[in-house]
């Protein structure tokens, strides 16, 4: 069994074949799948998917790039949804300074509000951080957040910072970038960190691994990520698959019935 910790099957890129693909994942023993929301509308679609398919679970939250329209009422609405047994995390939340839209203070405001929600609900978090290493770390290191567990999704920073997050109780999310020739930082992280601190993800429909780079991604391609991790760590494919599965199952509290 392969555990997919981060996909966006609510995305319009899957409108033409969503049901066919999601059923294929179950057939290929890729389950559970965490569908991670990114906006208010995405949360609604994610919840629908989690209730329609027994191998899909929901992470609900608003991505920093979509947080400008948030209100306190939205946070209360998310809180209400989070009591659903199909919800296993708050995410994708965090900071993204690549385009600086919305402004950084707005991003930090809603990041903190969603962290407070996760703390209140005792749910793990799925963290997005792009070009915002210092601010993300400083917020997550606040004393009130030191008990959090979660995933630093699509990790793109240094080995030293990865080690810092691991000490804090986070898993490092490893996706298609690990198959890229220019993914040297992630290669080093996978080689150096214990496999017990890593989980696998696709970020579908984005960041497809080689040999599908540039095309629509899907969880079917997780096998390429596992293969590359096995090479980097001098481990067997089966061991990487099994250990990353147990890492994710322990974090989210769900596993396949198969």
Q: What is the pLDDT of residue 16?
A: 98
pTM of the full structure: 0.97
Tell which residue, 82, 40, 35, has the closest CA to residue 54: 35
Mean pLDDT by runs of 10 across the 258 residues of the chain is 98 98 97 98 98 98 97 98 97 95 97 97 98 98 93 97 97 98 97 98 98 98 98 98 98 89
Q: Which residues of 186-220 are buried (b: 16+ CB within 10 A; e: fewer)?
A: bbebbeebebebbbbbbbbbebbbbeeeeeebbbb
Q: What is the pLDDT of residue 224?
A: 98
The DSSP call for residue 98 is S
The answer to whether 36 and 9 are in contact (CB under 8 A) is: no
Residue 234 backbone zone (phi > 0: left; psi -120 to 50: alpha; other: beta): left
Q: What is the pLDDT of residue 254?
A: 97
Tell which residue, 173, 180, 177, has the closest CA to residue 197: 173
Tell which residue, 29, 31, 108, 98, has the closest CA to residue 68: 108
Q: What is the pLDDT of residue 258?
A: 62
Query: Tokens 């970038």 — which residue?
Result: 177
Q: What is the pLDDT of residue 103?
A: 97
**Model pLDDT for residues 140-177, shown as the tens digit of each residue:** 999 999 888 999 999 999 999 999 999 999 999 999 99
Top CATH class of 2-252 equals: alpha beta
The answer to whether 81 and 47 are in contact (CB under 8 A) is: yes
Residue partners of 6: CB distance under 8 A and separation at least 6:
34, 36, 59, 92, 126, 151, 153, 154, 173, 175, 201, 202, 203
């Amino acid at each position: 069994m392969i555990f997919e910790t981060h996909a966006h099957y609510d995305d319009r890129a899957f409108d033409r074949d969503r049901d066919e693909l999601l059923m294929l994942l179950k057939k290929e023993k890729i389950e559970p799948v965490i569908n991670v929301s990114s906006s208010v509308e995405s949360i609604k679609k994610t919840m629908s998917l989690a209730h329609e398919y027994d191998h899909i679970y929901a992470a609900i939250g608003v991505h920093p790039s979509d947080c400008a329209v948030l209100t306190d009422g939205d946070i209360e609405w998310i809180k209400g949804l989070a009591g659903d047994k199909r919800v296993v995390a708050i995410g994708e939340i965090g900071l993204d300074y690549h385009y600086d839209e919305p402004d950084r203070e707005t991003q930090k405001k809603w990041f903190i509000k969603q962290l407070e929600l996760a703390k209140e609900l005792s749910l793990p978090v799925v963290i997005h951080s792009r070009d915002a290493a210092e601010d993300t770390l400083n917020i997550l290191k606040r004393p009130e957040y030191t008990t959090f567990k979660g995933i630093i999704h699509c990790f793109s920073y240094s080995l030293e910072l990865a080690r810092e997050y691991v000490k804090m109780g986070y898993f490092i999310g490893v996706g298609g970038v690990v198959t890229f020739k220019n993914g040297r930082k992630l290669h080093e992280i996978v080689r150096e960190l214990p496999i017990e601190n890593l989980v696998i993800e696709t970020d579908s429909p984005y960041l497809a691994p080689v040999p599908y780079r540039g095309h629509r991604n899907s969880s079917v391609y997780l096998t390429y990520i596992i293969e590359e991790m096995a090479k980097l760590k001098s481990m067997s494919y089966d061991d990487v698959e099994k250990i990353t599965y147990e890492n994710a199952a322990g974090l989210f509290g769900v596993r396949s019935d198969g």
